[in-house]
Amino acid sequence: MRNLRNLNILIIVVLLAGLFSCNSRDELFEREQYKKVFALLSEDGYNVFAEEHKLADAETETTGWVAASCGGSLATEEAISIKMVVDEKVLDRYNKGNYDVDEDKYAHFLSGDRYDIDNPTIIIPAGERTGRMKIRIRANGLSPDSVYLIPLRADTYTAYELNPVKNNVLYRVLLKNYYATQTMTSTATTYNFRGKRDGVNTMGNKQVFPVSGNKVRIMAGDISFESKVSTINDFSIVIEVDNDNKVSITSWKNIDVTQILAGDPDYDPQYPNIFRIDDDGYKTYKTFLLQYKYVQNGTTHVMQEELKLEFNKKTENY
């Protein structure tokens, strides 16, 4: 009988312990659900947040935003005011973490003459979950070969708790015009190309870089792109589109290039140096039809090419 009574007591103790444990877990879960923690919004492990900025003339400004969001199952009861500061250490961490000592690949600090932050404060109003801060960007003239970042950090705040992992953000400026757009993973847009080099058929893909509102840059002929400054400077050409969609072809830096015009013995009317939109009834394309001569290693080559990019008129944001 004594053993049975001891067993009953043991069972009661275990049940009570389990009950108290469940209650503790429920209370902890409830606290976590209602806990209000805010964070700066970003897209990767280095807290990069990127936005596209349209290129136009030197005076044009475009608008970007840095945002914060507050978690928890209930809305905030009081406003959160977050004071933001520029912090170069955030950019240093990004560069060293990604590229170590390979400084040629480092992202660039966007210089102060390229942007303005009128009020360096993010406010999440009471009862809301998000707030944002405006940045005015002057992107025209930035190099399409560089990554430009504004390193920002939350310095002080007035309420609740800040996520220590998301207390900073690297605001990235992506360049864009009608013909080419940068993304987080690429500084250029890839077109399909086909044509003739010295009368021999050639085809493949070609990277098109946004340079200004009406200019893009490509590699001449069928020369492969390399992200080396010497290769870019020696073999890149610029395509400028005027208001009538006629194209001018000039050198980016060092290459000797001459646009082929009507009357030239090498002129081919299939490549009239224009930009146009093609629609075959099923798909729509942005199309360049180009012809030019360029010098590579002392030899002059004749290039006629078609560059083509499929796009959707309804969804394109331009």
Q: Which CATH superfamily is domain 37-176 in?
A: hypothetical protein (bacova_03559) (2.60.40.1740)
Supply the pLDDT for residue 35: 79
Distance of CA 191 to the CA centre of its chain: 18
Q: What is the pTM of this model?
A: 0.86
Residue boundaries of the structural domains of the chain: 37-176, 189-311
Region 66-95: what's the mean pLDDT?
Answer: 93
Residue 33 confidence class, pLDDT cut points 50, 70, 90: low
* Mean pLDDT computed over 283-301: 97
Q: For the residues of the chain, what is the DSSP string, one character each?
A: -HHHHHHHHHHHHHHHHHHHHHHHHHHHHHHHHH--EEEE--SSTT-EEEEEEE---TT--EEEEEEEEE-SSS--SS-EEEEEEE-HHHHHHHHHHHHTT-GGGPPEEPPGGGEE-SS-EEEE-TT-SEEEEEEEE--TT--TTS-EEEEEEEEEESSSEE-GGGSEEEEEEEEE-SS-B--SS-SSEEEEEEEEETTEEEEEEEEEEEEETTEEEEESTTPPP-S-HHHHHHHEEEEEE-TTSBEEEEESSS--EEE--TTSTT--TT--SEEEEEE-SS-EEEEEEEEEEEEETTEEEEEEEEEEEEE-TTT---
Q: How far apart (Å, rounded) are the C-alpha atoms in residues 221 and 206?
A: 10
pLDDT digits (tens, 9 = 90+) for 272-286: 999 999 999 899 999
- The pLDDT assigned to 7 comes to 43
Confidence at residue 75, expressed as pLDDT on a 0 to 100 scale: 78
Query: Cβ contacts of residue 46 below 8 Å, gap of 6+?
Result: 93, 94, 97, 98, 170
Q: Give pLDDT tens digits for 183-236.
A: 999 999 999 999 999 999 999 999 999 999 999 999 999 999 999 999 999 999
Query: What pLDDT does 10 receive?
Result: 47
Cα distance between residue 99 and residue 105, in whole Å: 7
**Which of the four pLDDT bands, split at 50, 70 and 90, describes residue 66?**
very high
State residue 308's pLDDT score: 98
Task: Give the homologous superfamily in CATH for domain 189-311.
Answer: Uncharacterised protein PF14274, DUF4361 (2.40.128.440)
pLDDT over 70 percentage in the chain: 89
pLDDT digits (tens, 9 = 90+) for 113-137: 999 999 999 999 999 999 999 999 9
Mean pLDDT for all residues in the chain: 90
What is the predicted pLDDT for the residue at 314? 81
Is the pLDDT confidence value at 8 over 60?
A: no
